[in-house]
Chain A
């Protein structure tokens, strides 16, 4: 397994745990209503969000040579695969936005307005989807190159 592929796999694992942790905390603390009225809950979720993002990026992007290591950790093939990952990210973000739009419109149709807190939640969720789909895109890239498509 290539070093970048290994990193992407670890990052995806961390990202999934991170996303689940945010969802669990969000639901356990009372969901949308509590998030709207409780600044403490918003701070906890913001800390969880930023902390997870830093941990994720640290694992994926610190792909450097270890001391004394001769072999390259990332070469042109890895860069080609990494360059294709944004296609997966684009689709993942687009699909997430479509889901958010349809769900919010349908749920709040009768009220005629959507709670103002949702743009924050949409932003947070799109960040999570974006970083997770980057790892997924890298793993799909290796898989497709292995199949020689």
Chain B
């Protein structure tokens, strides 16, 4: 699994149960990428990570965390 963990699912529900499609539209990616991110199967680029954080109105660190092994 990826070392970069995220709280996208939690944040979606905290933001009026935002749908994956809504988030994808705001972040400029496909819904399938949001699904892959939530499942920890894809690590986004810095650019997409910032766009996702911006879509939630939070900082990058509030969405993504690097897990030390």
A positions within 8 Å CB-CB of B: 1-3, 5, 70-78, 145-146, 148
Contact = CB atoms under 8 A, between A and B. Distances in A.
B50 to A, nearest CB: 12
B28 A77 contact: no
Contacts, number: 47
Q: DSSP class of A's interface residues: helix, strand, loop or mixed?
A: loop
Interface in B15-29: 21, 24-25, 28-29
Interface string B1-35: 11000000000000000000100110011111100
A145 B37 CA distance: 11
B41 interface: yes
A77 B36 contact: yes
A77 B1 CA distance: 17
A76 B31 CA distance: 12
Contacts of B31: 71
A2 B32 contact: yes
Given A145-B36, A148-B1, A148-B2, A75 B42 contact: no
Contacts of A148: 1-2, 40-41
B48 interface: yes
B49 to A, nearest CB: 11
B28 A72 contact: yes
A-B complex: 7 closest residue pairs judged by Cβ atoms: A75-B29, A2-B32, A148-B41, A77-B33, A75-B30, A70-B25, A76-B45
